[in-house]
Chain A
Amino acid sequence: MSLIDAFSSPNRQYGHINAVLICLSVGMLSAAWLLGVVSVAPNRIVAGTSYGLVTAIGWPGALLVSLLFVAVGGLAIKPSRLHYCAQLCIVTLTLLLMPFGLMVAGHWLIDPTLPQARLGIGAGYWVALFLLLLCLVELRLRLELSRLWTTLLLSSVGAAWLVCAALWLDNLALVQEFQARDKQFYRAMLQHVVLVSIAVSVSVVVGLILAMLMRRYQRLQRVAFALLNFLQTIPSLALFGLLLAPLAWLAANVPFLAQLGVSGIGTTPALIALIAYSLLPMVRNTYIALDEVDSNTLEAAKAMGMRPRQRFWQVRFPLALPILLEGVRITAVQAIGLTAVAALIGAGGLGTFIFQGLGQAAMDMVLLGALPILVLALIVDAGLGALADALRPGGHE
């Protein structure tokens, strides 16, 4: 049971003013009107000039946007299921319209004679987008939308954005960054996913074995937890760095390992560090999951004459599975972030763009790395969360 379920009252009353959506609506309006929504830069390094809402999409556009935002807040004064549904439609519509705003702004503000000129997304735009997504979360909670519906809604919005970006948003800085290195991007994406998958699967297997050993030998439990906790205190950046030296030495002095591809820089130290970090959440959750299975249930299994192996695989393990998967989820999400840092020691992956971009002061390149990492983390989080729910027998708990 998640924290939110624990708090939310089952009988959410309608009819009483919804302050959340009104605040969000006011927030969106102020972001759109007070902050720059887009910026235009003559090339990829120079910082752009920022433009407000009216300059970007003209009075009609600005009024349309404001109307949509006001409608979201206005409908929240007297909430009902119907109003919430209407708000959901408005929010979805706004999300779908947002790339067209960029298109219009690009058309008006960019001088077509400058091939290098590009359109940047401004703070106002980002804040409004973020608040719109919050509206979506709030509406989802109020309407008690299922996971499936939310996923469908979000993926259709995402797909629409991708289509717009591919077809019409050529002068958007992010798109230009992508087009300049699309092969590189796909390779980095693949590398990222592969690194994370290997690290997570190794730590799942090792974690399970270690947790089972720890259940048997209590002394091992103390030592292993102390060690793993200590490892977590070392900053990831430092651990990546520290592995460079011994591995470089090994590669130089043990030719066999060098042939296997072990080297100070690159994938090997990255993987070792990733696995080391992944072990703590994995082992901890696996251990707790196996340990917290109701002792009455286990004793009943024993009294019914189940053999130890049967008790483990038919009772303890399936009952531990949801918490165990929660561990996999935490580990995977953490590994996605850490793999980004691993780019610093040449492991590749999406982090490459972040650090290259920071090095060249090319902010759009930073975004090209950071946004997909964020999306990847959210997708993995939602996917594994759904899996854990599905494996919970009969909607248990």
Chain B
Amino acid sequence: MIELSHVSKHFGEDTAVDDISLHVAKGKFCALVGSSGCGKSTMLRMINRLIEHSSGDIVIDGQAIEHYDLVKLRRRIGYAIQSTGLFPHWTVARNIGLVPRLLKWSSADVKARVEELMCLLGLPMDEFAHKYPHQLSGGQAQRVGVARALAADPDILLMDEPFGALDPITREKLQDELAKLQAQLHKTVVFVTHDMDEALKLADHLVVMREGRVVQQGTPLALLQNPVDPFVESLLGGLERGLKQAALTRVKDHMSSLGQSLPAQSRIPGDFSLRQALSMMLRDHCDRLTVVDQQDMPIGELSLRKVVKEAQLDKVSHREA
């Protein structure tokens, strides 16, 4: 668990981070979003004390970070960055095994752990273990970077635009994998990005920053439904916001029970998003879809009216709350 209260950072005259409070619950994925220079990276780096904060408190698991031993603190926090920061003079295996070795694990344990992680991140051991970082593609290097961050099984993972330098296809693939990994490992993650789609896709908790301050924070859905100002709205994509919101809602949660009328021709699995349902309606020129389960058995139906109305209802209920 990470708790920031009234944290500020000044560099001389400049204020990089201004009175920020933030709570990241255990096992949650928190994304910091904002344009470059908004202080999001600075905030991340204050958590593992690469930068010392000027005022306020940063508490990890009930203890203020300045009361931890600096080196021990860093060894229990995983860290992955955009440029990977892999050691160019070490092999992939040695890079991944760095923190366990710093923690004086036995060499057999280190080896086993490296093997486990490379398998987890889809890097075949015999192909990659002895390669040097410069022999890897961008995506591969980034996987190694994530593996290194996870090596000593830290509870907390800090990631600073880890996929920022990758091409769109590789980036999307790694995002999917990270989401799957997180579902499996339940780390407490703080993730910095300037890509709102990436944040919406991965985060449980979204923090929008501008000029060192938090503009708005909450669940992705809450932000999409109710952006506090034009800045957040434009960041969320302006007109596209509706579709993004639909992308976060599952068909299953909005279908109605099967009616008396004939079932619709087009079928959609219940795990798909409303956005995909909309797309399917546009493609098939229909306003009704049959919702099916994993065995392709009809479990309900979804109409265009329903999709549009549900979104509206959500908004109303949110306002009331």
Contact = CB atoms under 8 A, between A and B. Distances in A.
Contacts of B99: 304-305
Contact of B98 (A304, A307, A396, A397): A304
Nearest to B89: A393
Nearest to A300: B85
Interface of A is mostly: helix
Interface string B61-96: 000000000011111010101011111111100000
Interface of B: 48, 50, 71-75, 77, 79, 81, 83-91, 98-99, 102, 131-132, 134-135, 148, 158
A102 to B, nearest CB: 50
Interface string A377-397: 000000000000000011011
A197 interface: no
A315 B87 contact: yes
A305 B75 contact: yes
A300 B88 contact: no
A299 B84 CA distance: 10
26 contacts: A294-B88, A297-B86, A299-B85, A300-B79, A301-B85, A302-B50, A303-B50, A303-B74, A303-B81, A303-B85, A304-B98, A304-B99, A305-B72, A305-B75, A305-B99, A306-B71, A306-B98, A306-B102, A307-B71, A315-B87, A319-B87, A393-B88, A393-B89, A394-B89, A396-B134, A397-B134
A299 B82 CA distance: 12
Given A305-B72, A305-B102, A394-B134, A300 B86 contact: yes
Given A296-B83, A305-B75, A394-B135, A319 B50 contact: no
A318 interface: yes
B186 to A, nearest CB: 22
Contacts of A307: 71
Contact of A304 (B72, B79, B91): B79
B74 A305 contact: yes
A23 B86 CA distance: 49
A250 to B, nearest CB: 46
B88 A297 contact: yes
The 3 closest A-B pairs by CB, nearest first: A300-B85, A394-B132, A305-B74
| Residue with the greatest number of chain A CB neighbours at <10 A, chosen from B85, B90, B135 | B85
Contact of B88 (A299, A302, A319): A319
A360 interface: no
A305 B131 CA distance: 24
Contacts of A310: 102
Contacts of B86: 297, 300
Nearest to A319: B89
| Residue with the greatest number of chain A CB neighbours at <10 A, chosen from B48, B88, B134 | B88
B79 A303 contact: yes
| Residue with the greatest number of chain B CB neighbours at <10 A, chosen from A294, A297, A301, A318 | A297
B132 A393 contact: yes
A84 B83 CA distance: 44
Contacts of A318: 89
Contact of B75 (A294, A297, A304): A304
Interface string A280-316: 0000000000000010110111111111001000010
Contacts of B83: 296
B39 to A, nearest CB: 17
Given A300-B86, A303-B77, A394-B134, 15 more contacts: A297-B88, A302-B50, A303-B48, A304-B74, A304-B75, A304-B148, A305-B99, A306-B71, A310-B102, A394-B91, A394-B131, A396-B88, A396-B132, A396-B134, A397-B134
Contacts of A319: 87-89
B69 to A, nearest CB: 10
B111 to A, nearest CB: 18
Contact of B87 (A297, A302, A305, A397): A297
B102 A393 contact: no
Contacts of A305: 71-75, 99, 102
A302 B74 CA distance: 8
Interface in A76-121: none
Contact of B85 (A297, A394, A396): A297
B114 to A, nearest CB: 15
Contacts of A303: 48, 50, 74, 77, 79, 81, 85, 158
Contacts of B48: 303
A301 B71 contact: no
A354 B188 CA distance: 74
B50 A396 contact: no
Contacts of B91: 394
Nearest to B73: A305
A99 B26 CA distance: 82
A202 to B, nearest CB: 28
A370 B30 CA distance: 71
Contacts of B131: 394
Contacts of B87: 297, 300-301, 315, 319
B98 A299 contact: no
A392 B69 CA distance: 35
Nearest to B130: A394
Interface string A176-215: 0000000000000000000000000000000000000000
B102 A304 contact: yes
A397 B90 CA distance: 14
Contacts of B50: 299, 302-303
A302 B73 CA distance: 11
A256 to B, nearest CB: 47
Contacts of A393: 88-90, 132
Contacts of B102: 304-306, 310
Nearest to A293: B88
Contacts of B74: 302-305
Contacts of A396: 88-89, 132, 134
B132 A300 contact: no
Contacts of A306: 71, 98, 102
